[in-house]
Amino acid sequence: MPLLRILLLLACLAPLSLPVLADGKTLPIRMIASIKPLQLIAAAITDGLSKPDVLLDPGLSPHSYSMKPSDIRRLTDVSVIFWLGPELEKFLEKPLEQLPKKRNGQQRIIALMSAPDIQLREWDGESHHHDPHEHRHHGNIDSHIWLSPRNAIAMGKEIANTLSLADSGNASRYRNNLATFIEQVTAADLANDKDLAVVRQQGFFVFHDAWGYLADHYGLTVKGVFALSPDRQPGARHLMKLKNTLRLAGHTCIFREPQFKPAYIDRLTEGLNIGEAVLDPMAGDIPVFADGYPQFLRHLGRTIARCLTE
């Protein structure tokens, strides 16, 4: 029997109750987030109680990741799993289907793209509200939902609600942490809005088509995208079209991701008034603390504003 199947079988047989200490209290609830931006949001909700783990290191792409047996072991060892859903993390869909869905009667596998109040956008740039059960029927839905401050707050609410049900003894702490998180995200959002107001008319270029939610939220314009995903290289015809667009753009910026610095960017921008900076949608350099997500949001806003005004 393949090792992966054995681990999944053991997970189904494993006890689902939280360990109880001698004084009758349970240990802090253990959870894992699929990607670091979700880990940052969860860390705000669990501040002072526990620290969520993360499945994928920030440098790994959820678009093309392949599960390992060690990943399955990590998923079976936790009480709650937070992921976005199969729209982004197709690699997780089948393994999660074979894991226990509930612990002590409560859901333990939470797809945050289906959370209440999540606002989804299509790749054409239009925002839509969908019934949660409709999500997977729309292949053109942009799954980078964490880059919207509103969606981050909606996910924080869902995480707080899930943990309050699974760990009712700490429900008031989760609610208080959620209130703090909402205040911090709102403050960061307002600061970004002020910084970005002066560059809204300029537009910019991105390496990976991940920034639609952020651009829509702040009224920014993405003038061009180098690749639909970080795992797909742009073709020669597409690069030629981008070069013509860059020539007409005036002063603008290209934002690439930290793990990629393709040589064709230098060729396309030679002799043009174009800046270059790094935007990381996976928040690789942001510490995992209670204010990690607000820091991440402010870093994105400052980076865009700085590059477009220099």
**Do 156 and 182 contact (CB within 8 A), yes or no?**
yes
CA distances from 300 to 4, 71, 206, 215, 305 (A): 38, 30, 13, 11, 9
Q: What is the DSSP letter of 17?
A: S
14 half-sphere exposure, CB direction, 13 A CA radius:
22
Q: What per-residue confidence (pLDDT) applies to 55?
A: 97
Which pLDDT score is estimated for 223?
92
Question: What pLDDT score was predicted for residue 218?
Answer: 98
Q: Which of 104-110's residues contact partners 24+ apart within 8 Å by CB, and which partners?
A: 104/16, 104/17, 104/18, 104/166, 106/162, 106/165, 106/166, 107/162, 108/16, 108/79, 108/80, 108/81, 108/166, 109/80, 109/81, 109/83, 110/80, 110/81, 110/82, 110/83, 110/158, 110/159, 110/162
- Backbone φ and ψ for 127, nearest 5 degrees, come out as -95, 140
The packing angle between helices 36-45 and 292-309, to 10°, is 130
End-to-end CA distance of the chain: 60
The pLDDT, as a whole number, for residue 137 is 34
pLDDT of residue 106: 85
Bridge-partner residues for 7, per DSSP?
none
CATH of domain 199-309: 3.40.50.1980
- pLDDT tens, residue order, the chain (310 aa): 454 454 444 444 344 444 443 344 455 799 999 999 999 999 999 999 999 999 998 888 888 888 999 999 999 989 999 999 998 999 999 999 989 888 778 889 999 999 999 999 987 543 333 333 333 334 689 999 999 999 999 999 999 999 999 999 999 999 999 999 999 999 999 999 999 999 999 999 998 889 999 999 999 999 998 876 666 677 788 888 888 889 888 889 999 988 877 777 888 888 888 999 999 999 999 999 999 999 999 999 999 999 999 8
pLDDT of residue 7: 47
Delimiting residues of CATH 3.40.50.1980 domain(s) in the chain: 3-191, 199-309
Cα Rg of the chain (Å, integer) = 21
- C-alpha to C-alpha distances, 140 to 32, 88, 122, 224, nearest whole angstrom: 27, 11, 6, 18
Cα(151)–Cα(212) distance, integer angstroms = 13
* Protein fold of 3-191: Rossmann fold (3.40.50)
Collapsing DSSP to helix, strand or coil, 141 comes out as: strand
Among 83, 72, 71, 133, CA closest to 108: 83
Beta strands in the chain (DSSP E): 31-33, 53-54, 80-83, 102-103, 106-107, 109-111, 120-121, 127-128, 204-208, 222-227, 252-256, 274-278
Structure confidence at residue 26 (pLDDT) = 53
Give the pLDDT score at 125. 41
Adjacent-strand bridge partners of 226: none
How many residues can be counted in the chain? 310
The helix or strand, by DSSP H or E, that contains position 191, with its residue range, turns out to be helix 171-196
Alpha helix stretches (DSSP H) within 120-272: 149-166, 171-196, 212-218, 236-248, 263-269
